[in-house]
Amino acid sequence: MAQTLREFLKAVENLPPETLVCVAEVDEAFAANVAAVEVVENAKAQSKSADGTEAVELGNGGQKAVVIRW
């Protein structure tokens, strides 16, 4: 089921503006709808690659991250 913008904003409304936002596949199937939005408390940003993407480890860190799973 698709998530509305209202539902997404409610899930992230109290997070600080420097919170990381990343996406992750739920499985290998491609989908257009958001499956879940999760706030991870102990994320860790990794170094950026040459193409501008940045890996985020969802553990072993001290940053919050919003993970959008599709």
Give residue-wise pLDDT tens across range 6-45.
888 898 899 998 887 877 666 655 556 677 888 888 988 8
How high is the pLDDT of residue 11? 87
How high is the pLDDT of residue 6? 87
Contacts 24+ apart (CB under 8 A), 11-14: 11/37, 11/39, 11/66, 12/37, 12/39, 12/66
How high is the pLDDT of residue 32? 60
pTM reported for the whole predicted model? 0.60
